[in-house]
Amino acid sequence: MVIFDTVTKKYKENITALEDVSFLVEANEFCFLVGPSGAGKSTIIKLLIREEVPTSGSIFFNDIEVPKLNRRLLPAYRQKLGVVFQDIKLLNTKTLEENIEFALEILDKSNKEITDTTDYLLDLVGLRERRELFPYELSGGEQQRGAIARALANKPDLFIADEPTGNLDSESAKQILQILKTIHANGTTVLVISHDLNLLKDTKERIINIKEGKLESDSKPKEIPTTKKSEPVKEEKVKPEKPDKKEKKKKKNLKISKEFSSLSTSLKKNLKKFAISSPEVLLNITQADLKNMKLSKKENKELESFVKKYLNKKENE
């Protein structure tokens, strides 16, 4: 499912986050990716969700060559991944139940599917009785379990948990690990990224160890298919491809949502240029995507104001 083939990521000439890292994660596998802080674990996540691209090497998710993904396809690609980040990122203005429902609304699910899926996910993480509480009213372990439930809303092919037991007591950590094993037993590939060695006690699961940006060890190494080799991608030298006439025509004819009607002409032009046709697509872009748009300070403030109003509107519906 996931292939990192001799991947190197350099941020500057003297800062190498990853160096010639190769590993393969098969479908339906449960795998730990471990290493001390600063080892390069977070960089691997950023590369996998295409927030960053490698300096060299190849990254595949199934048959998708991730660094070469068209920006227009990124939101659809990221829906194949369920990611729980270290800082959890639950919306504090919404209850736990509303956090999950909101993730399903963005996916344009029917009311019945939203209700049924929310109930199922709350049961899965053992938080049905806490559904009406806001994130700040939940314990750290409950917040983490809530974030896991929300990340599962899109039924991802791959579930990535970034430091899921960080700052949790041993009992809460055990609960989180058991939930991750249940997710795996239900047919989802699980990748747990952690520096917590207590998670590895008596485990029979595969352990990939990263140290100082290099692959230190792999308890169950997999052979990288030679057919997946690709030309190195060098971020510093990559030039945007000139769009053909059809692509230009598509962008020209792209219709953007009426929700954007209140925005300035220049901002709407930029959204159209980057194929951001609706608020749902806008909510899926990353900080790196936003930086690439090169908006003016005025446009950034306008966009930030729009997102806040849009989220408030959704909350009150």
Give me the residue spans of the domains in the chain.
2-228, 245-316
- Rounded to whole angstroms, the Cα distance separating 179 from 163 reads 14
Q: Which two tokens stand for residue 261?
A: 């009607």
Neighbouring-strand partners of residue 162: 193
Per the CB < 8 A criterion, the answer to whether 147 and 103 are in contact is no
pLDDT of residue 43: 93
- Rounded to whole angstroms, the Cα distance separating 126 from 123 reads 5
CATH for 2-228, options being 3.40.50.720, 3.40.50.2000, 3.30.1490.70, 3.40.50.300 = 3.40.50.300
- Rounded to whole angstroms, the Cα distance separating 306 from 259 reads 9
Nearest to 47 by CA among 237, 286, 223: 286
How would you class 79 by CB atoms within 10 Å of its CB: exposed for 0-12, middle for 13-18, buried for 19 or more? middle
Q: Could you tell me the pLDDT band of residue 132, with boundaries at 50, 70 and 90?
A: very high
pLDDT of residue 235: 44
- Rounded to whole angstroms, the Cα distance separating 2 from 61 reads 5
pLDDT of residue 284: 63
Q: Per residue in 8-45, pLDDT tens?
A: 999 877 889 999 999 999 999 999 999 888 889 989 99
Choice between 25 and 310, residue whose per-residue pLDDT is larger: 25
Q: Which two tokens stand for residue 280?
A: 């749902």
What is the rounded average pLDDT for all residues in the chain?
A: 82
Give the single-character DSSP code of 256.
P
- Find the length of the chain: 317
Entry pTM: 0.69
Q: Is the pLDDT of residue 222 over 80?
A: yes
Average pLDDT over residues 266-290: 74
pLDDT of residue 241: 42
CA distances from 229 to 1, 17, 52, 65 (A): 15, 22, 20, 10
Give the other-Cβ count within 10 Å of 100's Cβ: 29
* Residue whose structure tokens are 């239900």: 186
- Rounded to whole angstroms, the Cα distance separating 203 from 187 reads 19
Q: What percent of the chain has pLDDT over 90?
A: 39
Q: Per residue in 45-96, pLDDT tens?
A: 999 999 999 999 999 998 889 998 877 788 888 888 998 887 777 888 899 9
Sheet strands (E) in 197-257: 206-211, 214-218
How would you class 6 by CB atoms within 10 Å of its CB: exposed for 0-12, middle for 13-18, buried for 19 or more? middle
**285 by DSSP, 3-state: which?**
coil
Cα 56 off chain centre by = 21
Q: What is the largest CA-CA distance in the chain?
A: 60
pLDDT of residue 184: 92
Q: Could you tell me the pLDDT band of residue 311, with boundaries at 50, 70 and 90?
A: low
CA distances from 202 to 171, 194, 199 (A): 16, 16, 9
